[in-house]
Structure 1
Amino acid sequence: MTDDKPMRADARRNYERLLVEARRAFAERGVDASLEEVARSAGVGIGTLYRHFPTREDLIEKLLRDRFDTQADKARELLAAEDPLDGLYAWLIGFGETSAVYRGLAELLAEALDDPESRLHASCSAMRDAASQLVERAQAAGVFRADVTVQELLLLLHGASWAGSHLPGDGGTERLMTLVFTGLRTSEQRGQRAVSAPR
């Protein structure tokens, strides 16, 4: 169901309940949580869920739309950062936080990046385009490896996001992403300083 079509009051209530229950289910059990259970918890039938969200990816995209939009806006802001390396790092940490919000999401986003039929493909492509500008700026400044593609970088960070979710305690994802990012800077940069924390 498209967002621009007006809904009856009861349909709107069902829609909002489904989002609340899906957010809770995905947070607790990951993106493979049962949609039947989501519908049951929302007090509707599975047919109602599919009328609003024809696929699991439609539902996930709706839940993450604000995060995707924020990432795109942040990329535009960080293109004006004084230090291109710090700007790229700050954006990638936000990207990692988005990828790790639900268990299994990193793998789903990685697959959607190469699947034009995926409901998440447009959002993933937009994030790739945003990252491309930041990467190219850092490469032009000679502070980021010139032989690394944006596709490779995002896949590496998806992997770090997945691995971080399996480490005990908090901060595992950011630590692994920082380790990956450090290895992708030019040798001169690795010898000079650590990357600044996102601001």
Structure 2
Amino acid sequence: MTEGAQRPLRADARRNREKILTAAVRVFATEGLDAHLERIAKEAGVGSATLYRNFPTRETLVEAVYRNEVARLCDAAPTLLATEPPLDALRAWTRLFLDYVSAKYGMIDALRAIAATGDSPYGHSREMIHAALSSLMDACVAAGTIRTDIGPADIGAALEGIALTSASPEQRQRAERLLDLTLDGLKTRP
């Protein structure tokens, strides 16, 4: 094995890592960054040693959670397109985008602190999200269900605006209504 290369995780270790990341999203969203890591381990159903073996610091956990949420959002696009009509896939993905933003806001202070050290947890996330949104919109255009004069950058800006104003859990219904209005404005008209 080359220096710096990592062995693939065993199936149980991979499951534990996923449980930790899922629990961390929930705990950070409800308790903020002051949440105790032991609380996250308990919520995940693993011991503290397992959590620290996977994520030796709070910063590594926050960064891993963020990257996992971006990957989950972006990986959903092809899955949705394979199982739903394009416009329904786009609609479902916008709901996942709200979930992603809610998770991100629960960790925003830590993400900023990590970025201030010179490490960028954001990396290529904006490009990845743009590519996922583009694939959904391209499928809708090909199906003739949305207008061709509005691009992914415009819809991305609209999604970000909706998320900034209405992404908190108590505003979820409002956010979904705004998403529906935005998507209805995209539809082709006879």
Q: Deviations over 1:11-44 (max 9, x none)?
A: 99x96785466234222045xx23xx43354557
Is the CA contact 2:146–2:187 (under 8 Å) kept in the aligned structure 1?
A: yes
What one-letter code is carried by the residue in structure 1 that aligns with 2:155?
A: L
The structure with the largest helix share of the pair is 2
Deviation at 1:133, TM superposition (A): 2.6
What per-residue deviation string (whole Å, max 9, x for no partner) do you get for residues 88-112 of structure 1?
334333433x33442627989xx9x
Contact conserved, 1:160 with 1:177, CA < 8 A, in 2? yes
Which residue, out of 128, 137, 140, partners 1:138?
140
1:151-175 per-position Cα deviation (integer Å, ceiling 9, x unaligned): 2212211221332234846522211
What one-letter code is carried by the residue in structure 2 that aligns with 1:89? R
Two-structure CA RMSD over aligned residues (Å): 4.5
Verify: 1:75 aligned to 2:81, yes or no: yes
Unaligned runs of 5+ in 1: 112-116, 190-199
Cα gap change, 1:129 to 1:77, in 2 (>3 Å): farther
Q: CA deviation at 1:64?
A: 6.3
Identify which of 54, 57, 60 aligns with 2:63.
57
Identity of aligned residues (%): 23
Q: How does 1:1-150 map to 2 (within 5 A)?
A: 4-6=7-9, 19=21, 22-30=24-32, 33-34=33-34, 37-39=35-37, 41=39, 42=41, 43=48, 49-50=55-56, 54=60, 56-62=62-68, 65-66=71-72, 68-78=74-84, 81=85, 84-96=86-98, 98-102=99-103, 104=105, 118-122=120-124, 124-140=126-142, 142-150=144-152
Matched-pair contact (CA < 8 Å) for 1:99–1:158: no
Q: Distance in 1 between matches of 2:5 and 2:64?
A: 10
Separation in 2, partners of 1:106, 1:136 = 32
**Count of residue pairs brought into register by the alignment:** 169
CA distance in 2 between partners of 1:29 and 1:126 (Å): 28
Quote the residue 1:192 is aligned against.
Answer: none
- Unmatched runs of 5 consecutive residues or more in structure 2: 42-47, 113-118
- After superposition, the C-alpha distances for 1:50-96 in whole angstroms (9 at most, x for unaligned) are 45963632232236655543344213444xx3xx4444334333433
**1:172 aligned to 2:170?**
no
SS at structure 1 position matched to 2:150: coil
Cα deviations across residues 101-151 of structure 1 (Å, max 9, x unaligned)?
A: 42627989xx9xxxxx74454555344323213312333555423232212
Distance in 2 between residues matched to 1:149 and 1:39, nearest whole Å: 41
